[in-house]
Amino acid sequence: MVDFTLTDEQKDTRELAHDFATKEIRPVAWELDKESTWPQEIVNKAWEVGLMNTHVPEEYGGAGLDYLSGCLIEEEFGWGCSGVGTSLSANGLAMTPVLLGGSEEIKKHYLGMLTEEPKLASFALTEPEAGSDVSGMRTTATKIGDKWVLNGSKCFITNGSHADWYTVYAKTDKDAGHKGISAFVVPREAGVTVDKKEDKLGQRASNTATISFNDVEIPADHLLGEENHGFKLAMQTLDRTRPGVAAAAVGIARAAMEFAVDYSKERVQFGVPIAMHQAIQFMIADMATKVEAGRLLVWQAASLLDQGKRNTLASSHAKRFAADSAMEVTTDAVQVYGGYGFIKDYPVEKLMRDAKIMQLYEGTSQIQRLVIARETLMPRKAQEPAAATA
């Protein structure tokens, strides 16, 4: 029998995250958005109450929570402010390749850094010429003696200005396409340069930076997994993190729906609250269905991971549907508010701006459709086990 009942521990986790989003994130979210302010205080508090780095196994100082719990947290963060949520969750993206491919010493050192102090890590895959097409990357890593030497630059790096270490993908064989990419863990102190913080449409409380490597040297053992196997590591990572992004999108949509519901009961036109008009009711009904359906897809994608199963298809279904739904729901929430929805004194225009990135980062909605089409037309082994550690 299919059972959607959360365990007591999962319910507690969700409650903790909701409480945190209500008390610590929501009250400052619109202010942080206005000035594009980095939420360091919230990062410190979230780390203190145990809402960051939740997937780090206990042996490296983490809570070792399951993927579904992680998604419950990300939905609440998304509900509070997805910009802040992205800042709090990005460690999960950076640490997954370390969990999948790092040696015992590397895991102890770099995961330990995150669990011992409220430090941050970034996932550095994208480049100006390599967005959806990962293989187009130009950053190189060359083995010289017992060191790797990195050269190149990465863009759109979440938390890039604040990270203490980076998971970096680089070409180790320039002519081998996706089979010539390797992954590395690169400490900031090795000489990573932060070039520029982006000024964004939405999620303005999150930090997005361009970073570069100019003869940055790292020890040989900082290679993650096997040489030239970085592309697969990136794909396996995104399978594990896209459900969390989708959960954040569900959180944004839920927030927009709640604002629209409240406003529609207050706003009177034609002598009745606009919630009495079928035109509004149908918009609210569609919002509610999209939130519910998005959440179910998220839970399915996360549960497959928790069962040790490959979730590529489920992950892309969840990311694609929840991201597109967040855009639709927030756009309709602005519509419910009418002209007021377009004004910054009201809450929903921020949500509409924030929702847009959901269709772009960690694979655009078009890339998710590409994955869904491939997995549907030419299914890979659905039961291929996920790596034991992540």
- Please tell me whether residue 122 binds ligand COS under the rule CB under 6 A: no
- Please tell me whether residue 121 binds ligand COS under the rule CB under 6 A: no
- Phi–psi pair at 102, nearest 5 degrees: -80, 150
- Please tell me whether residue 235 binds ligand COS under the rule CB under 6 A: yes
Cα(212)–Cα(196) distance, integer angstroms: 10
Q: Indicate the residue among 264 and 300 with the shorter CB distance to ligand COS.
A: 300
Identify the bridge partners of residue 171 per DSSP, sorted by sequence position: 140, 181
Residue 194's CB is within 10 A of a number of other CB atoms, namely: 16
- Please tell me whether residue 264 binds ligand COS under the rule CB under 6 A: no
Residue range at the interface with ligand COS (CB under 6 A); choices 253-261, 333-341, 347-355, 356-364: 356-364
Q: Tell me the closest approach of the beta carbon of residue 235 to ligand COS, in angstroms.
A: 3
Choice among 24, 75, 76, 362 that is catalytic: 362
- Please tell me whether residue 239 binds ligand COS under the rule CB under 6 A: yes
Identify the bridge partners of residue 185 per DSSP, sorted by sequence position: 167
Check if 362 is active-site: yes
Q: Indicate the residue among 135 and 214 with the shorter CB distance to ligand COS.
A: 135
Q: Tell me the closest approach of the beta carbon of residue 340 to ligand COS, in angstroms.
A: 34
Site string for ligand COS, 293-322 (x = CB under 6 A): -------------------x----------
- Cα 257 to its chain centre, rounded Å, is 21
Q: In whole angstroms, how far apart are CA 78 and each of 20, 58, 179, 250?
A: 12, 26, 35, 7
Q: Tell me the closest approach of the beta carbon of residue 332 to ligand COS, in angstroms.
A: 27
Residues 179-208 interacting with ligand COS (rule: CB under 6 A): 179
| Residues acting as catalytic residues | 362
Sites of contact with ligand COS (CB under 6 A): 125-126, 132, 134-135, 178-179, 231-232, 235-236, 238-239, 312, 361-363, 367, 370-371
